[in-house]
Copies of this chain bind each other. A is one copy, B any other.
Amino acid sequence: MKDFKYYAPTEVAFGRDSEERIGELALKYGAHKVLVHYGGSSAVRSGLIDKVYGQLQKAGLAYVSLGGVVPNPRVSKVREGIELCRREGVDFILAVGGGSVIDSAKAISVGVPYDGDVWDFYTRKAYASVCLPLATVLTIPAAGSEMSDGSVITNEDGNLKKDYCTDIFRCKFAVMNPERTFTLPPFQTACGVVDMMMHTMERYFSHDDDMVLTDAVAESILRTVMDCAFKVLRDPQDYVARAQLMWAGSIAHNDLTGCGTTGDWGTHMIEHELSGMFDVAHGAGLAAVWGSWARNVYMLLPSRFARFAVNVMGVTNDFTSVEKTALAGIEAAERFFHAIGMPVSIPELIGRPATEEEILKMADTCTGGDSHSVGVFKPLWSADIAAIYRAANG
């Protein structure tokens, strides 16, 4: 097991009445003038944005707003937010939405006090030491950005999707009302399920296989998420199941599932190229390539995949062959993805196979022209990644 750091300082207000606390929490964490940052029209239509404004008014807080954040949030919108915050003297950002909105807010938060261009953080040209405080009213359980240290932004100039991680822009608070997720369409719900599963699985598939407490917690999260996925797809207003998913999304990505293990993150990197090139939903992209990644790497520690097969997927252990058990688990995961309407191949994801040219380009970008490998469980180079895309292409 690895030495580890665990740091998840976000104050979570969870439940039906949590939205009543928005103003009080913003005051507690030092807000005077708030940027209300959000995505599409659903947050407006549902009345949530008005509720947020009302909460801020009641607390005597000034605010401006900036909507229009899209999935795979764009650096152009981030730059617009930075300008707005500077012009308006904003000192607190409230992200109302899901991972894309929070990631965009995080980028704005480090961009405002920085002299250069915010993209510098995402290309490791600069490291932030200060930022505006930020918080979230979460509406989509998936990305876990509400408790994570990460932000992923897409630069339209070159279809680059890059991440930046720092403790300083972790959310001060996160308001989570599971009722807000009742109206999530089935596809988006399923994408969220895959995303939170993958945040757990990227940390679970590790050569550090002796941190049994972390493993047990991870397996609990995965089993609960899979069970509740079916429940909310059958009944979108199942509050209890929606609540499990919402909380699972947070603890899957607040590092609890990585205590003592080494995260891999290969599947995420492989998917980032897909959504950078084809602008697909992140969760769907992960589902489309995970099985191909797993079959490429499992032989380095088949016992780990066998444990996943039995403890998470409910596969009957084949005591004569750890490899067979491992493979049965990968197949079961793909069956689960299919059962909740997710793709398990690139054609299912984008409607056609990727061309060989596209595959080579994505594989090359993913490793920076083989200047670095991707993943830890098995370090992958361009050729490995191209092989994974090809396996997912059939």
Query: Is A213 part of the contact surface with B, judged by Cβ < 8 Å?
Result: yes
* Minimum CB–CB distance for A210 against chain B, Å: 5
* Minimum CB–CB distance for A177 against chain B, Å: 9
Question: When the two chains form their complex, are residues A212 and B244 in contact, meaning their CB atoms are under 8 A apart?
Answer: yes
A 6-45 binary contact with B (CB < 8 Å = 1; else 0): 1111011111111000000000000000000000000000
Query: Is A99 part of the contact surface with B, judged by Cβ < 8 Å?
Result: no
Question: When the two chains form their complex, are residues B259 and A14 in contact, meaning their CB atoms are under 8 A apart?
Answer: yes
Residues of B within 8 A of A219 (CB): 220
The CA of A244 and the CA of B4, in the complex, are separated in Å by: 13
Query: Is A260 part of the contact surface with B, judged by Cβ < 8 Å?
Result: yes
Query: Is A243 part of the contact surface with B, judged by Cβ < 8 Å?
Result: yes
Question: When the two chains form their complex, are residues B216 and A224 in contact, meaning their CB atoms are under 8 A apart?
Answer: yes
Question: When the two chains form their complex, are residues B3 and A240 in contact, meaning their CB atoms are under 8 A apart?
Answer: no
Residues of B within 8 A of A240 (CB): 1, 210-212
Query: Is A380 part of the contact surface with B, judged by Cβ < 8 Å?
Result: no
Question: When the two chains form their complex, are residues A8 and B5 in contact, meaning their CB atoms are under 8 A apart?
Answer: no
Point out the residue from B5, B213, B221, B243 that lies within 8 Å of A224, measured CB to CB.
Answer: B213
Query: Is A230 part of the contact surface with B, judged by Cβ < 8 Å?
Result: no
The CA of A243 and the CA of B256, in the complex, are separated in Å by: 15
State the copy count for this chain: 2
Question: When the two chains form their complex, are residues B212 and A216 in contact, meaning their CB atoms are under 8 A apart?
Answer: no
Question: When the two chains form their complex, are residues A6 and B12 in contact, meaning their CB atoms are under 8 A apart?
Answer: yes
The CA of A214 and the CA of B250, in the complex, are separated in Å by: 13
The CA of A271 and the CA of B300, in the complex, are separated in Å by: 50
Smallest CB gap from A216: residue in B: B220
Question: When the two chains form their complex, are residues A244 and B213 in contact, meaning their CB atoms are under 8 A apart?
Answer: yes
* Minimum CB–CB distance for A373 against chain B, Å: 25
Candidate in A3, A213, A221, A251 with the most chain B CB atoms within 10 angstroms: A213
Mark out the residues of chain A between 102 and 144 whose CB falls within 8 Å of any chain B CB in the assembled complex: none
Given A7-B11, A12-B7, A14-B6, A1-B243 contact (CB < 8 Å): yes
The CA of A251 and the CA of B12, in the complex, are separated in Å by: 16
Mark out the residues of chain A between 152 and 185 whose CB falls within 8 Å of any chain B CB in the assembled complex: none
* Minimum CB–CB distance for A89 against chain B, Å: 27
Query: Is A248 part of the contact surface with B, judged by Cβ < 8 Å?
Result: yes
* Minimum CB–CB distance for A228 against chain B, Å: 8
Residues of B within 8 A of A77 (CB): none
Mark out the residues of chain A between 201 and 244 whose CB falls within 8 Å of any chain B CB in the assembled complex: 210-214, 216-217, 219-221, 223-224, 227-228, 240, 243-244
A 246-273 binary contact with B (CB < 8 Å = 1; else 0): 0110010000100110000000000000
Query: Is A2 part of the contact surface with B, judged by Cβ < 8 Å?
Result: yes
Point out the residue from B9, B16, B228, B259 that lies within 8 Å of A247, measured CB to CB.
Answer: B259
Question: When the two chains form their complex, are residues A247 and B11 in contact, meaning their CB atoms are under 8 A apart?
Answer: no
Residues of B within 8 A of A1 (CB): 15, 240, 243
Residues of B within 8 A of A5 (CB): 11-14
Question: When the two chains form their complex, are residues B4 and A15 in contact, meaning their CB atoms are under 8 A apart?
Answer: yes
Residues of B within 8 A of A212 (CB): 224, 227-228, 240, 244
Would you mind naming 6 contact pairs between A and B with Cβ atoms under 8 Å apart? Answer: A2-B15, A3-B16, A5-B12, A6-B14, A216-B221, A216-B223
